[in-house]
């Protein structure tokens, strides 16, 4: 049973990690594309229009990869997690179906019109199609996170005698206090990824002395959007999301912060340390006194419960993994703010495009927002374990009893091989689009 559960979780973790590499770019990029098209309508400068069309090519490629890699996850609800689907399908099935029926079709339909319909529609309607692509992608994220938020903080439900969850308040799904902070935090993080990708490609063009006009536009846009979104990820959205964890999952918060003991007179915030699960301590830690209490409750001496206050049965299943995922996310987020702030200063001084170390830094940082987004999701998912529906349905009770560990391992290896090929194909196609670059057609 333990092997079966391990491989079920590994397969879902692998497929969803690979899948989310693509939506995290498209959601943020859709807003930047709308911005470029809007700027074209305001200024009639062709550079903005060609920039919008160039990035929509990247969007379309990522969208296609997201669709291909998203379908297997839906099937896993019926194969590896059939018991979970049987018990909770009356609730999560609604938001997942809405995401597929409304958001996905809105996004995909108008994506085609944006790519192929500019001459037929004219620029104003072309802008509308771009805006509807943006709306569809963000609505899709909202409905997925509504599902996730119900699993983290279940509301508006009742449990029947047969153990099935049914919804008794549809509106509660969308007024869940866990939902909006998580959604805004996630969307801001997606915009961070898109901003860094746009800035990195712009830096690549400037450093290689090609598509120079577009390079400067991409760097400028990426830095402005990147600074704003990086700050929003930290505050207020990150702060609100963390306070939800403190309120509803205090044992998870203690594990995230590596807080093993409740401390009188205020809790320190740990910058670096290694969780020691044998002695239940943090080894080799570097910490700042009282800061965690202040950030959490705005009081220097506020008490925060440590893991020692809770029964070990409700501990997160993988405390070291949760701790490291959270600290990698926070550490990278801090670096993003610092780099974008320095770049913004140089942009204001009109020296950014000639400051090579910043351009190289922007280029080098390209993969790190993906890492930050991934570790952010790992923080949320590892923090909820050992529950599928927090405090109501354990992960072990949601797995399919008839799918063997061997079958799941076999298909996991198949996914790894297939996704390796898909990843290489994606990099090759994206590389060709980027290398060709935007084309400025003089009218």
Q: What is the pLDDT of residues 198-211, one digit of tens each?
A: 999 999 999 999 99
In this structure, is residue 273 part of a structural domain? no
pLDDT for position 442: 55
pTM of the model: 0.96
pLDDT for position 102: 80
* Distance separating alpha carbons of residues 219 and 202, to the nearest angstrom: 5
Torsion-angle region of 284 (φ positive above 0: left; ψ -120 to 50: alpha; else: beta): left
In this structure, is residue 321 part of a structural domain? yes
Query: Pseudo-torsion of CA 154, 158, 164, 166, nearest 10°?
Result: -80
Domain, as residue range, for 37: 2-8+24-262+305-436
Residues in the chain with pLDDT values less than 50: 443
Question: Inter-axis angle of helices 368-384 and 123-152, to 10 degrees?
Answer: 30
Helix (H) or strand (E) holding 180: helix 179-207
In this structure, is residue 274 part of a structural domain? no
pLDDT for position 443: 46
Tally of domains in the chain = 1
Query: Pseudo-torsion of CA 377, 381, 384, 387, nearest 10°?
Result: 160
Question: String of b and e for 2-22 (b: at least 16 CB within 10 Å)?
Answer: eebbebbbebbeebbebbbbb
* Distance separating alpha carbons of residues 87 and 3, to the nearest angstrom: 22
In this structure, is residue 56 part of a structural domain? yes
Three-state secondary structure call for residue 440: coil
Considering only CA atoms, which of 5, 2, 8, 4 is closest in space to residue 404? 4
In this structure, is residue 17 part of a structural domain? no
Residue carrying the six token digits 């909770």: 88
In this structure, is residue 296 part of a structural domain? no
In this structure, is residue 281 part of a structural domain? no
In this structure, is residue 297 part of a structural domain? no
Tokens representing 436 are 């060709």
Tokens representing 181 are 């902070």
Tokens representing 294 are 């202040």
């Amino acid at each position: 049973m333990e092997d079966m559960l391990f491989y079920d979780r590994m397969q879902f973790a692998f497929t969803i990690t690979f899948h989310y590499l693509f939506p995290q770019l498209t959601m943020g990029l859709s807003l930047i594309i709308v911005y470029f098209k809007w700027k074209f309508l305001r200024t009639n400068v062709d550079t903005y229009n060609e920039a919008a069309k160039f990035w929509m090519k990247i969007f379309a490629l990522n969208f296609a990869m997201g669709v291909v890699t998203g379908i297997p996850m839906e099937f896993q609800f019926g194969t590896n997690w059939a018991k979970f689907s049987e018990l909770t399908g009356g609730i999560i099935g609604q938001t997942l179906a809405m995401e597929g029926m409304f958001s996905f079709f809105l996004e995909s339909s108008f994506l085609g019109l944006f790519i192929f319909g500019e001459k037929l529609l004219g620029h104003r309607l072309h802008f509308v199609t771009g805006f509807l692509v943006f709306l569809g992608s963000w609505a899709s994220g909202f409905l997925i996170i509504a599902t996730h938020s119900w699993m983290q903080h279940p509301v508006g439900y009742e449990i029947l005698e047969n153990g099935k969850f049914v919804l008794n308040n549809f509106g509660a799904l969308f007024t869940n206090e866990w939902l909006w902070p998580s959604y805004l935090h996630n969307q801001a993080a997606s915009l961070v990824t898109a901003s860094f990708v746009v800035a990195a490609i712009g830096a690549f063009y400037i450093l290689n002395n090609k598509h120079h006009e577009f390079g400067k536009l991409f760097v400028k846009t990426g830095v402005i959007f990147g600074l704003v979104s990086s700050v929003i990820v930290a505050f207020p959205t990150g702060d609100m999301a963390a306070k939800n964890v403190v309120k509803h999952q205090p044992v998870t918060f203690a594990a995230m912060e590596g807080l093993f003991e409740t401390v009188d007179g205020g809790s320190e915030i740990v910058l670096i340390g290694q969780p020691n699960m044998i002695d239940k301590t943090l080894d080799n830690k570097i910490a700042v006194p009282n800061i965690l209490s202040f950030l959490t409750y705005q009081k220097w001496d506020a008490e925060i419960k440590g893991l020692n206050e809770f029964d070990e049965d409700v501990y997160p299943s993988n405390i070291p993994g949760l701790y490291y995922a959270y600290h990698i996310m926070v550490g990278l987020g801090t670096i993003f703010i610092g780099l974008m702030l320095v770049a913004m200063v140089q942009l204001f001084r009109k020296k950014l495009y000639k400051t090579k170390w910043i351009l190289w830094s922007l280029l080098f940082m390209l993969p790190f927002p993906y890492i930050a987004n991934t570790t952010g999701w790992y923080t949320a998912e590892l923090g909820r374990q050992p529950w599928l529906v927090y405090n109501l349905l354990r992960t072990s009770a949601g797995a399919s009893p008839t799918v063997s560990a061997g079958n799941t391992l076999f298909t996991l290896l198949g996914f790894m091989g297939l996704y390796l090929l898909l990843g290489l194909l994606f990099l090759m196609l994206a590389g060709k689009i980027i290398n060709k670059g935007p084309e400025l057609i003089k009218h």
